[in-house]
Structure 1
Amino acid sequence: MDDMTQTISVPHLGTSTVGYRFGKPYNPALPTLVLTNSFTTSVDLYRPQFADESLSDITNLLAIEPYGHGETRATYDQFTYWDTAIANLQVLDALQIPEAFVLGTSQGGWIAARMAMLSPKRIKGIIPLGTSMDHESAQSRELGCWDGIEFCTPSIDALAGSVGDDWVVQDEFVDAVLQAGLGDSVSAEDRDFWLAAYRKHYTGDAGRHRLRVSTINLRDRDGLHARLDGIRCPVLWMHGTADAVYSVRNAERTIPLFVNSVGAELMVVEGGQHFLSASDPDAVNAATTEFIARWR
């Protein structure tokens, strides 16, 4: 697991400690790319991006862990995706970074969108990967997306009761997330890596609670379709054809809703999985490098 994660204090939710990682020491001469991770993962999701010298040479890579994930903790027990978007902007304040691009995988995509809505002058562009801007709607299922209610509800119910200090997230939960995110491409080494990461982050009653609220947020989130006209920055939405969670058709239906973006485009990645930054890092990193060079 990543031993380079740091924490920083921000005022949101009664004061929060937010987990983050830089790829290299911050260079104010370079643009910054915020990386926001997928459901129940951590900054470790972006190991392929941190390892790409061509990407890290042209931008400051800054992964920030959402509420309920990794090392991020809040004084208040409840949180939503809007709270994470606010906290991420406060992390930029605390690190004295005046503006940034944002790349987000799955839930990270709608966190990126929220950041752009909340601070349109500060967010220079967003790169949503394998995401949706809808709530878990009947329309999204008609367009070939998963049934997030069916996926999440059993875990929400199972995690409702308090547990002892010796509780740890079940392997079956981790396997289900990896299957949804990466399909059958998960190696034994990667599975072992993520099992260890989940066991570190989701233990005891506090870990159970963070996991449950994170799952509630995924199932019960508000949709953004009516708010997408508030995004003015450029948008590069990348979506894999093998995404088992959200469909290319759903992305195609949504991209025209960015009516006030200075440039919104959809890039389809053949064979790409849901956790596209992990399954197809070469495609993602190359497109991200070009996007930042074009819009910086």
Structure 2
Amino acid sequence: MGVAQTLSVPHLGGSSIGYALGGGYDASRPTLVMVNSFSTSVELYRPQFADEELLSTANLLAVEPYGHGRTRAGYEDFTYWDSAVAALEVLRALDIPQAFVLGTSQGGWVAVRMALLAPGVVRGVIPLGTSMDSESPRSRELGCWDGVAFCTPAIDALAEPVDDDWVIPTDLVDAVLEAGFDADVDAETRAFWHSTHQQNYRGDAGRRRLRTSSINLRDRDGLHGRLDGVRCPVLWLQGTADEVYSVANAEDEIPRFVNAPQAELRVVDGGQHFLSASHPRDVDAATVEFLRRWA
């Protein structure tokens, strides 16, 4: 994958946004922005950066939301709307006029927010393993997880200041990995994400970023009332083995994109919550097809 780096944007009092660009930018190709899931980083998309067909089809640009990876803000608080604005500012800073946006879990919320904020910039969205709702009773009735119960203990545990030598506890990382991949995460994957999380979440500033990210996940606003504002094509990929958001939820929500030129749900048999990592061939092939159709 491209070397992870940062660039400055004006949002939130001036921010440094973490990103990775696969190879050199080619203006003749469409650009695919990829937004990572909760507490992960651009490294979530290593399989996509390694896919030669995808690389030859599009410029791949992974962008880290606020609270994640190398991204830092001038202000201490932020929401998913802020991450959407910052990702659009990254495109402007890189002189990329339009893009498609793929997002895993929370990245799907950022992708749709980007489409709502800048319909002239976002040409299509590819949500993976996600939901357009808040963490609502409706969501749980349709077989999704209890995000309130998942996040609240961590939010409470991260409430007090810590010393400079603090790093994110491995049990919190394991909870994320088991929700994203399942309980049988292989040792190499587990070790990689333990190390990556502990690089990104250390000291009191890391604790604050992680806590705010957890609050955003638990307390976010739903998008049901805004989905008629999405006017680009939507390709939603949802795995049958996703322990966080259900196929039933995706089936209920995809028709809500009433003004999209096309809104399609594809179900990936055996797909996990971190679908781009668990089933990269399915995701990459569908993405290439989508880009070639709509670019």
Regarding TM over 0.5, the answer is: yes
Q: Distance in 2 between matches of 1:130 and 1:196?
A: 24
Any residues of structure 2 matched to 1:50-199 within 5 Å, and which? 50-199=49-198
Unaligned runs of 5+ in 2: none
The answer for the alignment partner of 2:32 in structure 1 is 33
SS of 1:20's equivalent? strand
* Residues 135 and 147, structure 2, Cα contact 8 Å, conserved in 1: yes
SS of 2:183's equivalent? helix
Total equivalences in the alignment: 295
Deviations 1:174-201 (CA, angstroms, capped at 9, x unpaired): 0000000000342101110000000100
Q: Distance in 2 between matches of 1:45 and 1:154?
A: 25
**Are residues 1:213 and 2:212 paired?**
yes
* Residues 230 and 257, structure 2, Cα contact 8 Å, conserved in 1: yes
**Are residues 1:285 and 2:284 paired?**
yes
SS of 1:223's equivalent? coil
Q: Distance in 1 between matches of 2:135 and 2:53?
A: 37
* Cα RMSD (Å): 0.8
Q: Distance in 2 between matches of 1:162 and 1:54?
A: 46
Q: Distance in 2 between matches of 1:284 and 1:185?
A: 21
The answer for the alignment partner of 2:252 in structure 1 is 253
SS of 1:283's equivalent? helix
* Residues 2 and 21, structure 2, Cα contact 8 Å, conserved in 1: no
Deviations 1:251-283 (CA, angstroms, capped at 9, x unpaired): 000001000000000000000000000000000
Q: Distance in 2 between matches of 1:262 and 1:121?
A: 14
Q: State the AA in 1 paired with 2:264.
A: E
The answer for the alignment partner of 2:223 in structure 1 is 224
**Normalised by the size of structure 2, how large is the TM-score?**
0.99
Q: Distance in 2 between matches of 1:26 and 1:161?
A: 43
Q: Distance in 1 between matches of 2:61 and 2:179?
A: 25
Deviations 1:53-89 (CA, angstroms, capped at 9, x unpaired): 0000010000000000000000000000000000000
SS of 1:266's equivalent? strand
Q: Distance in 1 between matches of 2:104 and 2:185?
A: 17
Q: State the AA in 2 paired with 1:178.
A: L
Shift of 1:29: 1.1
SS of 1:184's equivalent? coil
Cα gap change, 1:185/1:46 in structure 2, threshold over 3 Å: closer, same or farther?
farther
* Residues 2 and 23, structure 2, Cα contact 8 Å, conserved in 1: no
The answer for the alignment partner of 1:42 in structure 2 is 41
Q: Distance in 2 between matches of 1:126 and 1:24?
A: 22
Shift of 1:243: 0.3
Q: State the AA in 1 paired with 2:68.
A: H
Q: Distance in 1 between matches of 2:223 and 2:57?
A: 31
Q: Distance in 2 between matches of 1:56 and 1:266?
A: 24
The answer for the alignment partner of 1:295 in structure 2 is 294
SS of 2:133's equivalent? coil
The answer for the alignment partner of 2:268 in structure 1 is 269
Identity of counterpart residues, as a percentage? 66
SS of 2:211's equivalent? helix
Deviations 1:94-137 (CA, angstroms, capped at 9, x unpaired): 00000000000000001000000000111000000000000000
* Residues 239 and 269, structure 2, Cα contact 8 Å, conserved in 1: yes
Q: Distance in 2 between matches of 1:156 and 1:28?
A: 43
